[in-house]
Structure 1
Amino acid sequence: MNILVTGGDGFVGRYLCPELVERGHMVTSLSRSPDPDVLPDEVETKTGDVTDYDSIVDAYENQDAAVNLTALPPLHEPRPGTFHDTVCIGGAVNAAHAASQHDVDRYVEMSSLGATMQSPIAYWRTQGLGDMIIEYSDLDWVVLRPSFIFGEGSETFTFIKTYTTPYVTVLPNGGDEPTFQPIWVEDVARITADALEKEKHGGKEYDLGGPEVLSFGEVTRMLYQAEGKSVKIVSVPMWLAQVGLYAAEPLPWIPFGINQARSLEMSNVTDHNDIDAFGRDTSELRSLSTYLKEEKI
């Protein structure tokens, strides 16, 4: 198949594009500032911005399938002048319309576990609205909603190390919340490729998680232990941490704010892990604890 991957040189795309090439597909990566150095030589790169329909529509010509990976970081406040609404909602409208105009046969939307229009958090609310746009389109769509994705270049690792310190760190409620079900980026890439290739997945949405359920505090300890550092967690009341993040919202040099305050109490764990729909069992997935023991981060 000819497959277009928007955001193909981003965190997930750098693993998905090689997976698709290895399976024999012709792959094109579309992004605002293409970086061909992070992709296999076989991947063609094109320039386009999902918030600008005219800049992306031609890229969908002669494509059999498409994957939309574009989104703003959920754990940091967007840089000035960028908005979740513009990318997650406007981008979904533009990408879906462009794919429809060129009769793309299969369309995969990479969403996020917890995405719902009712969420009080901008990232998950706009992701939920973006999902609805895709699901009401005339495309043969698949929506994937993974919990936090880990691997080299993971934004979650960066966030935790920005928010915490080794040896002694302060966390709301001792780091018992929020909880995650981390899933390895290469496992996500393989599942995404399956969603593109197999007709039975059309018109379905899948919640995806890894083999472990971990709290923010547990992940923090694991990250620093992987560097040979210990960490003692000092507990503060959740309300106090949230007050601090609300207060930080107007300060442009602090990458946290209201959305991060609200996310502190959010569980990011599947009710049912849909990896079984792709013929996989959690025992076959790479766990975060195994990854941190085997890789340097």
Structure 2
Amino acid sequence: MTIGLNKTVVLFGGSGFLGRYVARALARRGHRIRVACRRPDLAYHLQIAGNMGQILPIQANLRYRWSVDRAVEDADHVVNLVGILAESGRQSFDAVQNFGAKAVAEAARGVGAGMTQISAIGADANSESAYARSKAAGEAAVLQTIPEATILRPSIIFGAEDQFFNRFADMSRFSPFLPLIGGGTTRYQPVYVGDVAEAVADTVEGKVPGGRIYELGGPEILSFREMMEEMLRVVGRKRSFINIPYGAASTMARLMRFLPGAPLTEDQVKQLSIDNVVSEEARAEGRTLDAFERMPRTLEAILPSYLVRFRPQGQFTKPKPQAGGLDAENQDGIA
């Protein structure tokens, strides 16, 4: 194993949304990164985030153990970012988030590497959601295999490439209303992707104690409806909300399950009924972003940087007058 800061780090699922930020954070700190994914060509763009040869995309599939073992050869630390929100074919929750996590942990243990597992707030072995149960099973498998491993549970992650705010902002361009499942009362603690990535990098460098489960949430706790209202404020659009009861949403999801790329599944409806915020236990025990000595960034600070393209005239949309009749760009009254 490498001694010192410059480590060889393997990122499973590094070509995804969070993975690209983790790769950049590690590259800035001088580490060597292997991005292990099923389609290495989808990770080629990450090579420019580091110096020549610092970031190397390689092929690996969690369902084929030999490819996992090959990917972690001579590694100092392994980060498992692989996760799915909906099952598809052989990509089931258990195959990817339970047995896949266990395979990565066993491979990391085999070469004496440390490990960071990305889970999610809401992981619960007793949950009605198969997604949440598989996340909890993956956590247990990792800690059983490598007791000093670090588990990170982020709340909903936002950033330029997210599939949450971008999706609803795009919908607001042509739809006169936005759906609120269960009235939109479920609470979330959205956390910026860059803050999560830096936390991952800190675990690689051993800056926080291992063998613990950390819950990562942003500075605000908002309901689903409040997040939609903030998104609409940023994109400068007014839209009505339509309430869809959980029962009706489940029926709709059941009818859509045979459609390719169905926008909603029954399991996701179950997830939407449970608050997704940092627990009181994690706060009391210091298992939050505070442990990383990091000030999390707010939605207000980040959303305008990438949702501006959904405004009626994009970046050229004229700011609306603020209180007192002054434009947002002229709030001090100076012409």
- Calculate the TM-score normalised by the size of structure 2: 0.80
Cα displacement (A) at 1:163:
7.8
Aligned to 1:90: 99
Deviations 1:246-295 (A, max 9, x none): 33334445232211221221110111441111123xxx211123211333
- Within the alignment, does 1:289 sit opposite 2:303 as a pair? no
Cα displacement (A) at 1:116:
1.5
Deviations 1:74-103 (A, max 9, x none): 2xx333332111111121121111111111
Distance in 2, matches of 1:288 and 1:149, equals 11
Alignment match of 1:17 (pick from 14, 18, 23): 23
Distance in 2, matches of 1:52 and 1:125, equals 22
Contact 1:166 1:229 in 2 (8 A): no
Alignment match of 2:72 (pick from 32, 35, 60): 60
Distance in 1, matches of 2:130 and 2:14, equals 24
Aligned to 1:157: 165
Q: Which amino acid aligns with 1:222?
A: E
Identity between Structure 1 and Structure 2 (%): 29
Deviations 1:199-255 (A, max 9, x none): 642111111100111111122222233322211113343333333223333444523
Alignment match of 2:83 (pick from 55, 68, 71): 71
Aligned to 2:90: 81
Cα displacement (A) at 1:162:
8.0
**Matched residue count:** 289
Q: Which runs of 5+ in 2 are unaligned?
A: 1-6, 310-335
Contact 2:116 2:152 in 1 (8 A): yes
Deviations 1:134-181 (A, max 9, x none): 0111353000001011102112235546887643234234322x2210
Distance 1:163 1:127, change over 3 A: farther
Aligned to 2:225: 217
**Moved runs in structure 1, 4+ residues, more than 6 A?**
162-165
Distance in 1, matches of 2:267 and 2:171, equals 14
Structure 1 SS opposite 2:164:
helix
Coordinate RMSD, CA, aligned: 2.1
Q: How does 1:1-297 map to 2 (within 5 A)?
A: 1-34=7-40, 35-39=43-47, 40-41=49-50, 42-72=54-84, 74=85, 77-104=86-113, 106-138=114-146, 140-158=148-166, 160=168, 166-176=175-185, 178-198=186-206, 200-252=208-260, 254-272=262-280, 273=283, 274-280=288-294, 284-296=295-307
Q: Which runs of 5+ in 1 are unaligned?
A: none
Structure showing greater radius of gyration is: 2
- Calculate the TM-score normalised by the size of structure 1: 0.89
Cα displacement (A) at 1:120:
1.3
Q: Which amino acid aligns with 2:257?
A: E
Contact 2:182 2:273 in 1 (8 A): no
Distance 1:237 1:56, change over 3 A: closer
Distance in 2, matches of 1:222 and 1:232, equals 14
Contact 1:4 1:27 in 2 (8 A): yes
